[in-house]
Amino acid sequence: MMNEVQEYARHGPRLPPLLARHKALPDLCPAVETNTAHTTQKDEVGPPVPSVVVRGGTGTTTGGALSPTATPGAAPTFPAVPTLVGGKYLLTRPVDHSACHATHIHTHQSLLVKTLDGRAAHDLVAHHALMGGCEGVRSPLEMVVSACRRRAWVVFPAHHGDLHSYVRVRRRLREVEAQRLFTKVAATVAACHDAGLVLRDLKLRKFVFTDPDRQQLELESLEDSVLVGDEDWLQDKHGCPAYVAPEILTSSSYSGRAADMWGLGVMLYTMLVGRYPFHDSDTSSLFAKIRCGEFKVPEWVSSRARHLITALLQRDPARRLAVQDVLSHPWLTRPPRDHPLRDPTDHTVPTMFVQPSSHLSQSPKTTATTSTHSPSLFGL
């Protein structure tokens, strides 16, 4: 089968001209001024979770929970046909409204390109420079800016799928695997918080696998992050509705780090249970449930995991665990004590040896357990 570069060479004369003259920056621009400015890109989620960026408590809605494929939150900004950027990056298939698969036409390397407005792109690169190539955070390879500097393309290595899709395919994760992956997630969040960065839009889709065996997990990028330092009070109500913390909906300002911890709690619950702790097809009802803060942890979740979820999903931000407390929690530092069912609908009776006895009567009537199984992952 003809690869993308060969296809480009064959159809090159018919491709549209470059949208603008581009200038390739040779490095990550570590000297770019860092500040608390942040991007205004909308989040990508599918029904029934509405694809909105919550701003001032209002937003546009499109439905209820997670779907197999993300519904873009904005009109695509990538061309509908393969287009060359920076003289060497061939944009091929859009991933969503802000990311596109790409191929380096000289090395044939597969890449991922994000498009942002110029200021947001420079802030993104500056935040990555601040992290200094921290383990657990993918670093951009290059940034290409338009001649007017109003638009930029940030180039990242390709990945092997995100954690959202991984959980969706497996329906939910066993605790041993969830421990391994969640430890990496929490360690990455801890590194960002120590550097003064609040991630704001923490969710499963933000973490991607960097190897085909899906053993290495990293934060896709620092897009949507904001530099806060020690004082982390924010006013901008930004995030994915399914992961938004209750104080973001009820207060004019909130602690960015505490809101990130709520997002970690939603991630852990979804990894172990296979659905969101708060869900509704109506946005107002969803936000009402989040404000109330009531959720149920299924009985097959171990006691330690249940305790960690509860400690993260506290309505009061002051009562939530800090990320360092999460890393030292017994669920992450000790082997799993409880053995959850392989599947809540699995009622296989284990083989047991019963000593025969003549005085035993007929087998007593057994009461079948009715399992009220919620819709799996809401399409997760």
Query: Interhelix angle for 256-273 vs 303-312, to 10°?
Result: 150
Residue pair 242/44 in contact (Cβ under 8 Å)? The answer is no
- Catalytically annotated residue among 201, 232, 260, 280: 201
Give yes or no: 338 in active site.
no
| Distance from C-alpha of 29 to C-alpha of 128, rounded to nearest angstrom | 10
| Distance from C-alpha of 318 to C-alpha of 258, rounded to nearest angstrom | 8
Residue 218 pairs in a beta bridge with 208
Q: Who's near 128: CB < 8 A, 6+ residues apart? A: 28, 137, 139, 140, 221, 222
Residue pair 297/307 in contact (Cβ under 8 Å)? The answer is no
Active site residues per annotation: 201
